[in-house]
Amino acid sequence: MMNYVTLGKTKIPYKVIQSKRRTTEILVDKSGVQVLTSKTKNDKTIHDTIQNHSRWIFKKQLQLRDYIPSQITFKHKSKLPHLGKWYFLEIKKSTSNSFEFKNGKFNASLKNPTKSNIKKLYLDWEKQKATSFLKKRIEKHSKSAKLIPSKIIVKQLKTKWGGVSKKRTLTINQKLIRAPGKIIDYVILHELCHLKIPNHGQSFWNLLGGKMPDFDRRKLWLKTNQYLLE
């Protein structure tokens, strides 16, 4: 029999296997969630245990479903992120420097192909692509949400995905273009809601939740993939 717990709007199914064992173990793999526990545990106790671990379970499921490298290395045949997917990086020496995305992969040509030089080319390419893409996305959401910033800035940020100033300037990290579309929309709407409510009190989350009911799932994705800010 399949059971369920919820995390926000997400239903997480799990299967219970009871035996003579004394401890409870939660297994998460591509086949699903299994709970190995004692025959003495009742349904409510098991359900409460799974509910209390629902965030951890969802995080593991994200890692399994959207497997991504643990870091960006900028090495030949490694991968780089763009719009939620990872593509191979081909590096070669050349008489001039260039960086492009073509035929489903990144191509970097450099006189001196060091990690720092490749990273700079990638960030320059990313800035060019992100500026137009993210500004259009922000304008679309600000219009539909009726939350209009005075100015939009797309640039590199070291420790956060975005922010709003007292003068209603919305700044978005260019690296956000590395994330899937749904995550991009969450960050944008999150920052737009700060135009109305500057803090993270309950009224803010109520406002955001009214416009994006599954925001908690998208928020968790960002925590799981925080290293993309590097």
Q: Residue 186 belongs to a domain with what CATH number? A: 3.30.2010.10
pLDDT of residue 19: 85
Here the tokens at position 128 are 């060019």
Q: Does 86 share its domain with 47?
A: no
Q: Which of 126-140, 186-200, 216-230 has the lowest mean pLDDT?
A: 216-230
Q: Examine residue 182 and state whether it is found in any structural domain, yes or no.
A: yes
Smallest CA-to-CA distance from 58 within 2, 14, 1 is with 14
Give the domain-ending residue among 39, 65, 91.
Answer: 65
* Contact indicator for 204, 222 with CB cutoff of 8 Å: no
Is the pLDDT score of 1 beyond 70?
no
Q: Does 22 share its domain with 134?
A: no
Q: What percent of the chain has pLDDT over 90?
A: 72
Q: Does 43 share its domain with 108?
A: no
pLDDT of residue 66: 58
Is the pLDDT score of 137 beyond 90?
yes
Q: 23 lies in which domain range?
A: 2-65
Q: Examine residue 194 and state whether it is found in any structural domain, yes or no.
A: yes
pLDDT of residue 68: 59
Q: Examine residue 39 and state whether it is found in any structural domain, yes or no.
A: yes
Find where tokens 């990273």 sit: 119
Here the tokens at position 88 are 């191979």
How many Å apart are CA 142 and CA 172, to the nearest integer? 14
pLDDT of residue 128: 96
Q: In what order do the strands lie in the sheet with 79-82?
A: 79-82, 85-93, 105-110, 98-102
pLDDT of residue 63: 73
Q: Which of 64-73, 80-89, 138-147, 191-200 has the lowest mean pLDDT?
A: 64-73
Instruction: Name residues whose C-beta falls within 8 Å of residue 71's C-beta, 6 or more positions apart in sequence.
Output: 227, 230
The count of domains in the chain is 2
